[in-house]
Amino acid sequence: MRVSATLPDSELPRQWYNLAADIPHALLPPLAPDGSVLKPEQLSALFPETLIEQEASSQRWIDIPEEVLEILARWRPTPLVRARNFERLLNTPARIYYKNESVSPAGSHKPNTAVPQAYYNKLAGTTRLTTETGAGQWGSALSFASAQFGLECQVFMVRSSYDKKPYRKVMMQTWGASCVPSPSPHTRAGRKILEAQPDSPGSLGIAISEAVEAALEDSSGKTHYALGSVLNHVMLHQTIIGLEAKRQLALFGEKSPDTIVACVGGGSNFAGLSFPFIKEKIDGANIDIIPVEPASCPSMTRGLYAYDFGDTAGMTPLLPMYTLGHNFMPSPNHAGGLRYHGMAPLVSAAAKQGLLRPQSISQVECFSAAVQFARSEGIIVAPETSHAVAQVIREAVRAREERREKVILFGLSGHGLLDLQGYAEYFSGDIANTPLSEEELDSSLASLPKVGPAL
């Protein structure tokens, strides 16, 4: 009886898959703040050339450099596990599989892109990277990757997570990075927010503004910015997850999943797992592909598809995406990595083109799901990942009610061993759902920039 399918490192995918090559309606371009189409060179103050090329590429397969593979091979291919005990607990005829990305050094899928981003920066002569982090997973992943290539790394960490997850900061320090809470007094963007609201819990949008500003400030050109989600090149790097999962499902004798589930913040672990299967869906396969977001930050289920800034201060290009408005301030729920106002343009386009079925779930149901998963399978998942687990339970229960065997594949994007404060508050009953009112949503959407075509 097979429980886990591990592949030898000789089976590591050698190329990433680019959905931009196959998505039925071509991706809309990013825009400059004046509404003109962004020229790739306008990104060169932030990113090295190879990443800018990947950002705009419509080539289907892109080679993974040997130097990157050598580092990824320390923990990849990651296991694909059949959640038999979870199936028993749910008394479901569904066969549930999870792709376990929590086995990386930083504890999540984030190093899959941190390593190539640090590598391409090193090749281009960058000596320092700046970035933001929500829950701390991305900040620790980039700190780890920077250490591999001898780069300095400065991380702006969303204040609410910084206070709740002090050990994430220690991880970053251990890998040689510096980590400051955002909003911070170190940047104009941070100071402006602090003047208006000294106790601001921060948001990913604000932290991105600070990290971008810190990179642009260095006129030597040796400081670059790195983003852990949202952009096309990040989605690309994460596809190694789904490419491995396809081979591993075959080892279990499964042809193709019926349902794929992953949580979405900016969209990268979801994209990584699902994009290789979206290709199959475009080619005719019948797969229900479900991105799951928090009910308190519902960009895909309640936001608008529009051009919007990627950050709060409006320093980034305008991206075509599902958004709640770049001024949106999500409630400080425990899934810090899902508190982002927008969604990756590629994920947004796939949803807009009818390839996805987005869902949103409140945090109490998510923690309850995570506890059931921990008690049956053993792994204590990150609060972000708990959104995927909660949706899997809904799907497994539906399969039971319909007496239908089906194959559910879900992304276990990270462990929650440094997120136990959230679990503690769940057990003491101190956790609440924080629904988003129509008024809050309308006032945030009113901040959408009035440039670019209506979508």
Ligand X SMILES: Cc1ncc(COP(=O)(O)O)c(C=O)c1O
Could you say whether residue 239 binds ligand X (CB under 6 A)? Answer: no
Q: Residue 293 Cβ, how far from ligand X at the closest point, in Å? A: 9
Q: Residue 172 Cβ, how far from ligand X at the closest point, in Å? A: 14
Could you say whether residue 342 binds ligand X (CB under 6 A)? Answer: no
Could you say whether residue 363 binds ligand X (CB under 6 A)? Answer: no
What is the chain's length?
A: 455
d(CA 207, CA 205): 6
Could you say whether residue 348 binds ligand X (CB under 6 A)? Answer: no
Q: Residue 311 Cβ, how far from ligand X at the closest point, in Å? A: 15
Q: Residue 229 Cβ, how far from ligand X at the closest point, in Å? A: 3
- Whether the CA torsion 188, 41, 240, 386 is positive or negative: it is positive
Candidates 260-268, 282-290, 422-430, 435-443 — which segment interacts with ligand X by CB under 6 A? 260-268
Candidates 88-96, 212-220, 259-267, 425-433 — which segment interacts with ligand X by CB under 6 A? 259-267
Q: Is 302 exposed, middle or buried (0-12, 13-18, 19+ CB in 10 A)?
A: middle
Q: Which residues contact 128 (CB under 8 A, 6 or more apart)?
A: 151, 152, 153, 154, 218, 222, 223, 224
How many chain residues are in contact with ligand X, going by CB under 6 A?
A: 21
Among 13, 111, 181, 265, binds ligand X (CB under 6 A): 265
Could you say whether residue 345 binds ligand X (CB under 6 A)? Answer: no
d(CA 355, CA 347): 9
For residues 273-332, which are near ligand X according to CB under 6 A? none
For residues 44-73, which are near ligand X according to CB under 6 A? none
Between 160 and 229, name the residue whose CB sits nearer to ligand X: 229
d(CA 13, CA 434): 41
Among 385, 386, 391, 444, binds ligand X (CB under 6 A): 385
Could you say whether residue 172 binds ligand X (CB under 6 A)? Answer: no
Could you say whether residue 138 binds ligand X (CB under 6 A)? Answer: yes
Could you say whether residue 333 binds ligand X (CB under 6 A)? Answer: no
Among 193, 264, 290, 356, binds ligand X (CB under 6 A): 264
Q: Is 283 exposed, middle or buried (0-12, 13-18, 19+ CB in 10 A)?
A: exposed
d(CA 234, CA 218): 24
Instruction: With CA atoms as reference, report the closest residue to 266 among 238, 225, 242, 224.
Output: 238
Could you say whether residue 100 binds ligand X (CB under 6 A)? Answer: no
d(CA 281, CA 135): 32
d(CA 95, CA 84): 8
Could you say whether residue 131 binds ligand X (CB under 6 A)? Answer: no
Could you say whether residue 177 binds ligand X (CB under 6 A)? Answer: no
324: left (phi over 0), alpha (psi -120 to 50) or beta: alpha
Between 258 and 384, name the residue whose CB sits nearer to ligand X: 384
How do 80-82 and 95-100 pair as beta strands?
Answer: antiparallel
Candidates 21-29, 47-55, 135-143, 151-159 — which segment interacts with ligand X by CB under 6 A? 135-143
Give residue 233's Cα distance to chain centre. 12
Between 120 and 270, name the residue whose CB sits nearer to ligand X: 270
For residues 210-229, which are near ligand X according to CB under 6 A? 229
Q: Residue 206 Cβ, how far from ligand X at the closest point, in Å? A: 15
d(CA 446, CA 327): 9
Between 5 and 370, name the residue whose CB sits nearer to ligand X: 370
Could you say whether residue 384 binds ligand X (CB under 6 A)? Answer: yes
Q: Residue 341 Cβ, how far from ligand X at the closest point, in Å? A: 13
Could you say whether residue 414 binds ligand X (CB under 6 A)? Answer: yes
d(CA 394, CA 379): 19
Among 50, 113, 137, 239, binds ligand X (CB under 6 A): 137
Among 111, 276, 337, 422, binds ligand X (CB under 6 A): 337
Instruction: With CA atoms as reference, report the closest residue to 137 among 422, 426, 419.
Output: 419
Sheet holding 95-100, edge to edge: 4-5, 80-82, 95-100, 407-412, 259-263, 288-294, 359-361
d(CA 321, CA 291): 15
Report the interface residues with ligand X, using CB under 6 A: 108, 134-135, 137-138, 229, 263-270, 337-338, 382, 384-385, 413-414
